[in-house]
Amino acid sequence: MPRTVLEVKNLTKKIAGKTILNDITFSLDEGEILGLLGKNGAGKTTTLKIIVGLVSKTSGTVYINNINTEKQFIESIKHVGAIIENPEMYGYLSGYKNLIHFARMSNCKISKSEIEKVVKLVGLETAINKKFKTYSLGMKQRLGIAQAIIHKPALLILDEPTNGLDPQGIYQLRGYLKELTKQGTSILISSHLLSEMQLLCDKLVIIDNGKILKSGSLDDLVNTNAEKLVEFSVNNPIKAKEIITGLFPTKKVTLDGYNVIIKIDSDNIALINQEFVKNEVVVTGIVTKQNTLEEQFLDLTREE
């Protein structure tokens, strides 16, 4: 069984009678990446701040490496690296001297060679001796990740880490994070970039208005809805549309050139194909389009 690195139980936060978080529960195992997804104001950052002790909770429990953060905060938090909101460091110091400073603050001894490994991991070799105030937002994010992982934390917490990154930077960041999980680090990442989270995460928690709408593995969430868009390529799209409409009068059927598109479950694909054969409609291709995390997220939040 994989070791549980983070466990959040029944986390609730109320301010002036208003419920900000409502009974939030999830867990993260060793080497996993868990995405905390939600619209702006859904409660993502509040959850992260409570985990690292920046905001007090109303009720609930947080365990890091099986240590209760309320009872043994210092012991539990030494296993954590985090960037909450934007990374801030000393502008007049170079990136390297900032890392030296954070290394000295750590409880463990960190050698210069280990710092250099982290610098290489985040791709800052050519800029590490420049002053932090000259860094672009993307470079600041990379240095922030470097300081967060320099003490080899069991748990890395990142709040919207792709802010300000260009597509190449986002791609590189994804590679850095996956490399960290191979070394045993567990990652909790908050974001509203759904397509990126679909590429990165093992598990997901979708949060809205302070409560969890859905949680589980990426495959479970994306494939929860049995219906998928199916595109039939045919020689007679008008007749094909009539056939499908006769079978499923309540379903929306659209035409795109010689393609007929409908959202149905997999079991009905063969039924439609059989009807096409009976009615002498030649089928040259059938393409099933994969459901996306974005579609699932929008369906859930639209219902709310």
CATH of range 227-303; options 3.40.50.720, 3.90.70.10, 3.90.550.10, 3.30.70.100: 3.30.70.100
- Tell me the average pLDDT of the chain: 85
What phi and psi values does residue 276 have, to the nearest 5 degrees?
-60, -45
Res. 34 pLDDT band, cuts 50 70 90: very high
Write down the domain spans for the chain.
4-222, 227-303
Higher pLDDT, 294 or 251: 251
Structure-block tokens of residue 191: 């974001």
Q: How many CB atoms lie within 10 A of CB 252?
A: 9
For residue 226, give every residue at least 6 positions away whose Cβ sits within 8 Å of its Cβ, in sequence order, or none.
265, 266
Mean pLDDT of all residues in 189-204: 83
| pLDDT for residue 41 is more than 50 | yes
What phi and psi values does residue 209 have, to the nearest 5 degrees?
50, 40
pLDDT of 289 reads 73
Which pLDDT tens digit goes with each residue over 66-85? 999 999 998 898 889 888 87
227-303 has the same fold as 4-222 = no
For residue 299, give every residue at least 6 positions away whose Cβ sits within 8 Å of its Cβ, in sequence order, or none.
225
CATH class of 4-222: alpha beta
